[in-house]
Structure 1
Amino acid sequence: METRIARELGVREDQVRGTLALLDEGNTVPFIARYRKERTGGLDEVQIRDVARLSEQIRQTEDRRATILASIEEQGALTSQLRSALLAASTLSELEDLYAPYRPKRQTRATRALEAGLGPVAEAIERGEDPSRLASKFRCEDFATDDDVIAGARDILAEAMADDATVRSYVRDAMRRSGKLMSKRRRGGEEDPKYKMYFEFSTPVEKMRPHQVLAIRRGEKEKVLSAGVEVPEERLVDWIIGHRVKVGGVARKHYSEAIRDGFGRLLHPSLERDVRGDLEEQADKHAIGVFALNLKNLLLQPPLAGRVVLGVDPGLRTGCKLAVVDATGRLIDTGHMYVHDGRKRDVPDIVAAMVHKHGVQVVAIGNGTGSRETEELVAQGLRGKQGVHYAIVDEAGASVYSASDVARAEFPDLDVSVRGAVSIARRIQDPLAELVKIDPKSIGVGMYQHDVNQNALSQELDAVVEDVVNAVGVDLNSASQPLLARVAGIGPTLSKRIVAHRDANGPFASRAAVKDVRGLGSKTYEQCAGFLRIRDGKEPLDNTGIHPESYPLARDILKRAGKALGDAGLKSALDALERSGELRAIAEKHGAGAMTLQDVLNALVQPGRDPRDELDPPKLRSDVLNVNDLREGMVLEGTVRNVVDFGAFVDIGVKQDGLVHVSEMADRYIKNPYDVVGVGDRVRVAIVSIDKDRGRIGLSMKQAAR
């Protein structure tokens, strides 16, 4: 198994072996990736999960192989040749093709014919005999005439052909190579404009793009489209006849008719399901990957910590809900305002009053319905307010949070809609801390996320959240229960106990003190400790990414450098130790490998480092743009809100996000938009087209760069 995984993933066998051993020992992926690099050869979180996924697939394949072998053996049909073929099969589809003739079947035309004793007639045709000469001997109640008997024999031959592993493999490959996925408007289906391009659609299977596959699947589900795989049927049937039919005369005619019937009735539908299933599986995988990448970039948006924020949840009919949170995220005031009728004239004064009363530094406006109308009025209220700005915040999932158990527990007496305003305000203070409270699937940065495999989507998105939380680290004394629950090894139950212990006993004095929490044993502590942070504690190393197991190593290094953590000149002293070879000797003394040593050195030089600090902060504005202000050729700065296969949607400060098509991202050919931009990136764009009637704005990054 290790050899196969290593070959498929392009890594070494010893890396696979070490990773599987660590996983079998009950270690979490973040812990393995960060603190067991020597045993994995430095594999990252994605590679470790790939090893785990492939090993599980292989185990499932082996379990299925054992089941199939047992089933065929029980039927008394397991020949040495078949056993060898089953043992040599490397994929589930190969195994299932070999098993097809022996798989217990529901009642079919062929099984009815076999139960009626027509097997000898089918065998006679295979030998080249004229079936009409013996058909009368096999008449029965269900097959009363000679023609009925011969038709039954052909059904047997048709099903045998459709179960032939060689035939199935050949035709399946031909479908993938030369088949075309066709779709058309379903008779009686709605004239839905979003599916218009699929009303008369035909593309080679091998050239289908993931978003096309997903769109067609959704169209079929909504009963707007019908679709199928078209193949060169005559050529394939001729090949099958040549492969299976070794006789001439009348028998050949009957056998060929059986194959033609079986191809259209049995083989083509079966393999079409296989091929479309493969396409949809790959499309699901791609769409899930898009969602995961966009989610990761969103979660890694830099925080605007230490700011007093006014959160605005826009609304037209019911008005805008307001919530002011202090620099720690604590709710200190709420309010309400209307932006759609005569009362909108009061909005600038309401905003100005809240800013003055609470010392608001940033206004966070959700990007939902009414956001641009709200933005105009908020901008008016901020004019003349030195140092006060506003930002448009992606509010996807805020309503889900508002009605969640987490929100009810935090704000039991607060209206659901006002909780949404609190969430919007906190999102700009610390996007990660707030977004972990929401089911990742409810954060709208995906493509067809409701259509893909939901279990696979949940697993991938949960992995992204876990990786980001542990990469950033969590303050043990201020983190919420949902955030703590994402730390490696902790989970929901222990996170609740940690918060309860903190509330009852005060802040934790050290990382080690978390072991006092009921149920948090040595194994869990090993997994989580390196990702927890204690600010201003007695042990300075508790505010770094150094695992407690490496504290002796870190202390020895600092002692030899003659510096304390945070001292000026520490990096120079460490560089000198490295040049002298002393660092290597210290590491060997503590049994630490080169990768662990390097991680410790990095953490000593940058204690408390937050990887989000290296990214562009949120774009703050003081005035508003109107679509009527836009002109073709105008160059603006915007924020990427979503990335899809065909480009990126960019917020440039007007009501509608603009689209940078993949062809407008750079002067060179760009195959994958994600190689160029990610959610949250700040980009310069030129306006290339404005369609006010359809609410579309075309943007170009390459023209802005000229």
Structure 2
Amino acid sequence: MEESHVAETKQRLKDEETEGASGANALTPEEQAAEQAAIVKRVSAELNLPLGKVKSAAALLDEGNTIPFIARYRKEMTGELDENELRAIEEKLQYMRNLEARKREVIRLIDEQGKLTDELRGAIRSASKLQEVEDLYRPYRQKRKTRASVARERGLEPLAHWLLSQPRQGEPLQEAAKYVDAAKGVETADDALQGAKDIIAEQLADDAKIRAWVRRHTFDNGILRTEAKDAAQETVYEMYYSYQEPLKKLPPHRTLAINRGEREDVLRVSLDLSADRIHDYMDRQLLRVGTAAGVRAALLATIEDAYKRLIAPSIEREVRGELTEKAEEHAIGIFSANLRNLLLQPPVRGNVVLGVDPAFRTGCKLAVVDETGKLLEVAVSYPTPPNNKVAEAEKLINGLIDRYRVELIVIGNGTASRETEQFIARLLGKRKADKAQSGRELKYIIVNEAGASVYSASKLAAEEFPKLDVAERSAVSIARRLQDPLAELVKIEPKAIGVGQYQHDVSQKRLEETLGGVVESAVNHVGVDVNTASPSLLSYVAGINATTAKNIVKFREESGIFKDRKMLQKVPRLGAKTYEQCIGFIRVPESANPLDRTPIHPESYAVVDKLCGVLGLKLEQLGTEPFRAALSSIQTDRVAAEIGVGVPTLRDIVDSLLRPGRDPREELPAPIFHTDVLSIEDLTPGMELQGTVRNVIDFGAFVDIGIKNDGLVHISQLSGKFVKHPMDVVSVGDNVTVWVLGVDLKKGRVSLTMRKPG
């Protein structure tokens, strides 16, 4: 919920009159320093991280350093905080700074009204959340016309004060009769009394203490109920046609599903909560012993009205909003983890690949790419209905296979993928049987083509392949995403890659920001070959923006390949700060300096020289067994002190020297390839299969077992032990052994288990 308050705060700062605020609201340098120190201290406490580490991280971020750079090359300063911790610090710092700015603004606005007391000022300054600040400001915020504001205009505020004074004697209607004034619109004593009660009701609804208590009580005791607007209608929301669950137990994915059903006008959603305890609490806050019976009755009626008309609807919106934002953060977290695992899938290098974008009427688009991803040829075949030109398609594809010595066939999992897979499997079977044609065993794989159509219709794809149509570009993307998933997938808008849940139901701005950070993290984790990288890939390197990435590629095209890292300093608009941030993540395989092919930052090249001197090694020996043996035997603490470098930095340097040119993705298991097709009709309960995890969600994991639709392993079937969340057991890209639990031929669904039968 706090994220929405950040946005609301920014909007209010624009909407409210702030003329002259800068002078009245500005802090002296000493006050700014004290405020920032207090913020860092609170961030440290809330994240449970050492104060010194947070202080250093905050200073580095404020200097304009990127998170990948800090995490990799400033470990001594931050005590080896990882990227997730650094991102949490960055977000919390921003929130706290917005909070302090909002506090100052609210204090100024209330002070200008002449209503700021020392107690109120202290309450605002001690607030730890934006919600608390907004609750305190609520009574002083300019409102649209309300029943209470109309009553005030009619001069009924003194009557409200009389009621709130809770006299021991007196009748409300008799007192109200004094305020009857037809000219002001107060026709009767009842009108006057109702106006006074409206004023009090609004005051109660704006009371920060009452709102905080009711909000907490609602969340702890409320029941969310859903029902169908049309129970006869068949939809995916049928489980919610008559459903209820305590708010505090509602899981994130269910919150988003209910929201979507409500938004699509399928579900009616309500919040069920007994008002008795709330009335009792408000009674205790307002009423005093000995109050005249008539006054007490009037105030009791006002309390009931304040809750029912003003507080309950507002708090329900806030509580549901908070649930939604927590659910969104959870969903974004799931998407982020899945996306990172997908991006870091091992590349399948050294093969000529035939990419197939399946289709029915328009035919299957084909694209052959060489070992480097260079496009060799595109074509189209029509082996699927309604054309069924199987013989022609076989001749065409056999020709491509033989002409370019294709070794792998990659099929997208979109429309007609099932029919295309059957055709390809039969073709490969024929080639295998015909020894004169086979020569080697061809294999195929189905890949998730999510986002391929988005990329193929993009401006980027049009620039890369101006002579190809959209479907042909898609076939190229499908082929390349097997060869190097990271390099190809960065060309696609992250949220278009289908490895999340409810990604279209969350804050798109927040989703975009978070997924952008995930892609940045993955790209910098792997490193980028500056002489082959696309502008899309380069733009995710720490410190490099889209413009600089294009400048790098343009420089490469005009001046030839980069011969070393220093050469990047000649790229227009790539300044010293950008160079410092990016260069450790840039690889130059063609460089004469072997360190330019490693994650070692140029600022540490002198450290490598000292290390080699201590060990009696020469850099030219890098990659040899004597070099590795010498490095493996060093005492890191002693050598670090000897050459004057931090232990974490030396540890990273040694690791990079032990495995120069290493791609961290290659340590992961390779994808599963097929030579024959499997259909849902072939499956029987208990059958053992090998599969690849395609998506992980809150209630389980979807596994590709070689049929058209992925099978579901429910969370209860992931392990023989209790599983809190599927991600504790599996990740996108994992190769797993599964057994068939059940098959629903009508719905095309397969349920699987990872618990070995018996």
TM-score in same-fold range (> 0.5): yes
- Determine the structure 2 residue equivalent to 1:566: 623
The residue number in structure 1 matching 2:69 is: 31
Corresponding residue pairs, total: 700
1:703 maps to which residue? 756
1:323 CA displacement? 0.5
Report 1:73-88 matches (<5 A).
73-88=111-126
Out of 663, 674, 684, the position equivalent to 1:631 is 684
Matched residue, 2:10: none
Q: Is the 8 A contact 1:352 1:382 kept in 2?
A: no
AA partner of residue 518 (structure 1): P
Conservation of the 8 A alpha-carbon contact between 1:308 and 1:325: yes
TM-score by length of 2: 0.91
Letter in 1 for 2:266: V
Given the alignment, which residue of 284, 288, 311 partners 1:242? 284
Paired residue for 2:553, among 491, 499, 502?
A: 499
Alignment partner of 1:361 is 2:411: no
- Give the counterpart letter for 1:152 in structure 2: G
Q: Write the mapping of 1:285-296 to structure 2, written as runs, cut at 5 A.
A: 285-296=329-340
Q: Matched residues in 1 for 2:638 and 2:566: separation?
A: 30
- More divergent stretch after superposition (310-319 vs 334-343): 334-343
Kindly indicate whether the alpha-carbon contact (under 8 Å) linking 2:347 and 2:482 is maintained by their aligned counterparts in 1.
yes
Q: 2:174 aligns with which of 133, 136, 157?
A: 133
By how many angstroms is 1:348 displaced? 3.4
Aligned to 1:133, the other structure's residue is in SS state helix
1:650 counterpart SS class: strand
Deviation at 1:680, TM superposition (A): 1.0
CA deviation map 1:559-616 (0-9, x unaligned): 332332111122321244428x75224431xxx2111010001001011111101111
Question: Shift of residue 222 of structure 1?
Answer: 1.3
1:340 aligns with 2:392: no
Give 1:89's match in structure 2, choosing from 127, 152, 162: 127
Work out the CA distance in 2 between the residues paired with 1:345 and 1:258: 83
Which residue number corresponds to residue 199 of structure 1? 241
Counterparts of 2:625 and 2:241 in 1: how far apart (Å)?
Answer: 68
CA contact (8 A) 2:692 2:704 kept: yes
**Match of 1:666?**
719
Q: What pairs with 1:503-514 in structure 2 (closer than 5 Å)?
A: 503-514=557-568
Q: Distance in 2 between matches of 1:177 and 1:577?
A: 57
Question: 2: distance between equivalents of 1:191 and 1:259?
Answer: 41
Aligned counterpart in structure 2 of residue 300 of structure 1, from 330, 344, 355: 344
Alignment equivalent of 1:150, drawn from 169, 174, 193: 193
Question: Equivalent of 2:461, from 404, 407, 411?
Answer: 407
What residue is the counterpart of 1:326 in the other structure? 370
List gaps (5 residues or longer) in structure 2.
1-38, 433-437
* Offset, 1:124: 1.9
Matches within 5 A, 1:42-121: 42-121=80-159
Q: Which amino acid aligns with 2:427?
A: G
Hey, what's the Cα distance between the residues in 1 that align with 2:511 and 2:643? 41
Letter in 2 for 1:642: N
Contact 1:351 1:382 (C-alpha < 8 Å) held by counterparts: no
What is the CA–CA distance in structure 2 between the aligned matches of 1:665 and 1:148, rounded to whole Å?
Answer: 66
TM-superposed CA distance for 1:400, in Å, is 0.5
Distance between the aligned counterparts of 2:249 and 2:505, measured in 1? 21
Cα deviations across residues 529-562 of structure 1 (Å, max 9, x unaligned)? 1000011420000011100000011122123323
Corresponding position of 2:264: 222
* Equivalent pair of 1:566/1:607 in contact (CA under 8 Å): yes
Q: Tell me the equivalent position of 2:745.
A: 692
Matches for 1:245-264 after TM superposition, within 5 Å = 245-246=287-288, 247-264=291-308
Mapped partners of 1:243, 1:317: distance in 2: 72
- Counterpart of 2:33 in structure 1 is none
* Superposition map of 1:620-659 within 5 A: 620-659=673-712
Give distance in 1, aligned partners of 2:475 and 2:394: 18
The aligned residue for residue 387 of structure 1 is: 441
C-alpha displacement of 1:316: 1.4
- The residue number in structure 2 matching 1:159 is 202
State how far apart, in whole Å, the 2-side matches of 1:207 and 1:306 are. Answer: 51
Q: Deviations over 1:358-392 (max 9, x none)?
A: 10010000011111110111111122132311011
| Counterpart-to-counterpart distance in 2, 1:349 and 1:294 | 39
In the TM superposition, residue 189 of structure 1 has moved relative to its aligned partner by 8.8
Residue deviations 1:87-109 (CA, integer Å, cap 9, x gap): 11111111122222111111100
Cα distance in 2 for residues equivalent to 1:582 and 1:569: 21
Q: Counterpart amino acid of 1:235?
A: R
TM-score by length of 1: 0.97
Equivalent residue, structure 2, for 1:523: 577
Paired amino acid for 1:351: I
Cα distance between partner residues in 2 of 1:665 and 1:456: 31
Aligned to 2:32: none
One of 232, 235, 249 as aligned partner of 2:274: 232
SS at match of 2:721: coil
In the TM superposition, residue 411 of structure 1 has moved relative to its aligned partner by 0.7
Any idea what the Cα deviations from partners look like across 1:379-438, whole Å, max 9, x if unmatched? 111221323110111100000000111110011111111000000000000000000001
Report the Cα offset of residue 77 of structure 1: 1.0
Question: Unaligned 5+ residue runs, structure 1?
Answer: none
Per-residue CA deviation, residues 638-658 of structure 1 (Å, 9 max, x unaligned), is 011111100001110111110
Deviation at 1:336, TM superposition (A): 1.1
Structure 2 counterpart SS, 1:134: helix
Distance 2:89 2:263 in 1: 34
Shift of 1:248: 4.1
**For 2:236, what is the secondary structure of its paired residue?**
helix
Residue 433 in structure 1 maps to residue 487 in structure 2? yes
Q: State the 1:192 CA deviation.
A: 4.5
Name the structure 2 match of 1:15.
53
Q: Which stretch has the larger CA shift, 652-661 or 566-575?
A: 566-575
Instruction: Read off the aligned partner of 1:324 and give its amino acid letter.
Output: V
Matched, 1:351 2:392: no
Indicate if the aligned counterparts of 2:563 and 2:590 stay in contact, CA closer than 8 A.
no
- Aligned-residue RMSD, C-alpha: 1.4
The residue number in structure 1 matching 2:353 is 309
Structure 1 residue identity aligned to 2:201: A
CA distance in 2, matches of 1:191, 1:114: 50
Classify the secondary structure of the residue corresponding to 2:368.
Answer: strand
How many angstroms does 1:278 deviate by?
Answer: 0.9
2:227 to 184, 188, 192: 184
C-alpha distance in 1 between matches for 2:702 and 2:41: 43
Q: Which amino acid aligns with 1:649?
A: F
Q: Answer with 287-296 or 244-253: which moved more.
A: 244-253
- Counterpart in 1 of 2:28? none
Q: Given that residues 741 and 752 in structure 2 are in contact (C-alpha distance below 8 angstroms), is that contact kept between their aligned partners in structure 1?
A: yes
Give the secondary structure class of the aligned counterpart of 2:265: coil
Identify which range, 661-670 or 527-536, moves more after superposition: 527-536
Q: Which residue of 2 aligns with 1:474?
A: 528
